[in-house]
Chains A and B, each alone.
Chain A
Amino acid sequence: MASESSIAAGTRITGRIQSDGDLEVFGHVEGSIVAAGSLTVGEDATLKCDLEASAVDISGAVAGDVKAEQSIVLQPGARVQGDLSAPSVGIRPGALVRGHVNAGGSRTATPPRTAPKQTSRAAPAAPREQPASSKPVEDARGGPSRADATKKAPAPVMPKAARQAKKRTTTKRASAAAAPEPVVPALKKRSRTTKTKRRRAR
């Protein structure tokens, strides 16, 4: 399966490239490249994609994350905008990198693969957490504007505080002038509510 593959300088590929063997790229690729063998990125190559291979040797321009099971070597003239993660990473003088470099044991190299999945799974749960995170801000706002409200709604009680916070935003325009130190998100929210109210008025 190890017949060599190469993508010449005048070739543009948009999409996914999967390789069971070695791959040389001298052209332009947008998408993703996954190679089981070694991946060589030539001098004039321009890649806008994530790279995964057992060993990566880069002399050209890469915009994307680079992962290797063994090693990544950036030759002089290489330009990489993205993260590098491999057990061993070599950056020769004259190579440019803009991104995180994760070099060392394979344990440190593997977490990035699992990490994005976890974050993506956690993403739907994030909205549930949002009311919790927005509470302290609203409490902080409510503190200076309405002393009574803060007394009625202590911080630990979540849903009541959130409901009252909504009511507060409606009544806040009157109390806005009295607020001594308005928080930045509070200003944004007020402006939104005023805008929506103006729209409704129209």
Chain B
Amino acid sequence: MAATVIGQGITIEGEVAATEDVVVAGVVRGKLSVDGHLTVEADGVVEADIGAQSVSIGGAVTGNVTAAERVDLLGGGRLIGDVKAARLTIADGASFKGNVDMDV
């Protein structure tokens, strides 16, 4: 029970701040800041600005993503927004629209 799981069928509108890992398989709108690893699963929808240690995106994200370590855009993942992270990987089959800033 260490991680926060926002499962399928859950919709959160507002601000989410976590000090542990977060898994999103549902819908989050607003703001999402995680002091840990954020996983957006294939069914997950995030319409929020994201701040985290590291992010892996397999679902749909609309918003700017800022990560202290890395951002992984997985196959099937969709990201619309700017990425600011030291490391970024974009897998084959992912879609991405936005600017990248790896100058951190």
Contact = CB atoms under 8 A, between A and B. Distances in A.
Given A3-B25, A27-B4, A15 B12 contact: yes
A10 B15 contact: no
Contact of B15 (A6, A15, A18, A23): A15
Contacts of B25: 3
A27 to B, nearest CB: 7
A26 B26 contact: no
Given A11-B20, A31-B14, A1 B8 contact: yes
A4 interface: yes
Given A5-B26, A6-B1, A6-B5, A11 B18 contact: yes
B19 interface: yes
Nearest to A25: B4
Given A11-B19, A11-B20, A11-B22, A3 B14 contact: no
Interface string B13-35: 11111111010011000100001
A16 B4 contact: no
Contact of B7 (A3, A11, A15, A36): A3
Contacts, number: 89
B2 interface: yes
Interface string A30-64: 01000010000000000000000000000000000
Q: Count chain B CB atoms within 10 A of each CB in A8, A12, A24 and give the residue with the most.
A: A8
Contacts of B3: 6, 8
B16 A12 contact: yes
Contacts of A1: 8-9
Q: Count chain A CB atoms within 10 A of each CB in B3, B4, B30 and give the residue with the most.
A: B4
Nearest to A11: B18
Given A1-B9, A19-B9, A23-B10, A14 B15 contact: yes
A132 interface: no
B58 to A, nearest CB: 15
Interface in B13-67: 13-20, 22, 25-26, 30, 35
Given A8-B18, A10-B20, A15-B15, A26 B10 contact: no
B2 A8 contact: yes
B42 to A, nearest CB: 12
B5 A20 contact: no
B1 A3 contact: no
Q: List 9 tightest A-B contacts by C-beta distance, closest first.
A: A15-B14, A20-B9, A10-B19, A5-B7, A11-B18, A3-B7, A1-B9, A8-B4, A18-B11
Interface of B: 1-20, 22, 25-26, 30, 35
